Amino acid sequence: MTLPEEEILLTAQLVKGDIAAFDALYHQYHHTVFANILQYVHQTDIAEDIMQEVFLTLWLQRHTLTGAVGGWLFTVSRNEALSYLKKALTEKRTKAALPVEELQEEALDEVLYQSRIEVLNEAIDSLPPFKKEIFQLCKLEGKTYNEAALLLNTSPAIIKERLRSASGMVRTYLVTHYPAMQLTTALVIILYNK
């Protein structure tokens, strides 16, 4: 048999799910496919990853193949390499579009947010146990006065009064211990809601 006839036979066997045919085609073409990809990406580790993807695609799409697979492998490997380059370029442009100052501001905002949460938790921890429990149930867990009253075996009126007192104590703690800290909208909502 000539090489093209052998390749056509291997392709026909591959279509039927013959792993030995797949291995034979892999050994016949993997160097060529790798070299083709490397022309585009210029990085051996990335070229190897793309090559593996190409042969995985060959296996997964084996039912659609007709004739010899050499041209198919060449086309798919080129398309995969170009797809990788396009994706890499898009990611590079996206990163370049975000100014360093903006990224630093986002990181600073996250640090400020976390520090404010820690301060709020510190203020909540300073509450007497019963008021702390009411504050956590109503302000942090979103329970109604009635729900909290059922859980704590008391009246909704007591829950409302103690919650108002607890919120005042938290505000006082924050103003006393952290006078320079500005209350964020979220903290204001938590403290003044209900």
Same domain, 25 and 80: yes
Number of domains forming the structure of the chain: 2
CATH number for 36: 1.10.1740.10
The CA–CA distances, whole Å, from 4 to 10, 12, 86, 111, 157 equal 10, 12, 34, 64, 89
Structure tokens at 4: 């093209």
Predicted confidence (pLDDT) at residue 130 exceeds the cutoff of 50 = yes
Same domain, 93 and 177: no
Predicted confidence (pLDDT) at residue 85 exceeds the cutoff of 90 = no
Same domain, 43 and 69: yes
Residue 189's pLDDT is 46
The residue among 97, 127, 147 that closes a domain is 97
Same domain, 187 and 166: yes
* Cα–Cα distance for residue pair 156/76, rounded to 1 Å: 69
Same domain, 24 and 66: yes
Report the chain's mean pLDDT, rounded to a whole number. 81
Predicted confidence (pLDDT) at residue 194 exceeds the cutoff of 50 = no
CATH number for 117: 1.10.10.10
The residue among 74, 97, 120 that closes a domain is 97
Same domain, 50 and 132: no
Residue, of 101 and 161, whose pLDDT is higher: 161
Average pLDDT over residues 8-13: 89
Predicted confidence (pLDDT) at residue 113 exceeds the cutoff of 70 = no
Helix (H, G, I), strand (E, B) or coil at 34: helix
Residue 98's pLDDT is 54
Domain limits for position 37: 3-97
CB within 8 Å of 50: residues ≥ 6 apart: 37, 41, 77, 80, 81, 84
* Cα–Cα distance for residue pair 84/18, rounded to 1 Å: 30
Closest Cα partner for 133 from 172, 162, 108?
Answer: 162
pLDDT tens-digit profile of 169-179?
888 887 787 76
Same domain, 16 and 88: yes
Hey, which of 118-127, 158-167, 176-185 has the most confident mean pLDDT? 158-167
Model's pTM, two decimal places?
Answer: 0.49
Same domain, 139 and 90: no
Same domain, 87 and 107: no
The residue among 58, 82, 97 that closes a domain is 97
Predicted confidence (pLDDT) at residue 182 exceeds the cutoff of 70 = no
124 pLDDT band, cuts 50/70/90, is: confident
CB within 8 Å of 20: residues ≥ 6 apart: 13
Q: Is 68 left (phi over 0), alpha (psi -120 to 50) or beta?
A: beta
Same domain, 45 and 104: no
Q: Transcribe 64-102 into DSSP letters.
A: G--S-SHHHHHHHHHHHHHHHHHHHHHHHHHHHHS-HHH
Residue 31's pLDDT is 94
Residue 1's pLDDT is 42
Same domain, 134 and 49: no
pLDDT tens-digit profile of 30-80?
999 999 999 989 899 999 999 999 999 999 999 888 877 888 999 999 999
Residue 107's pLDDT is 58
Same domain, 81 and 105: no
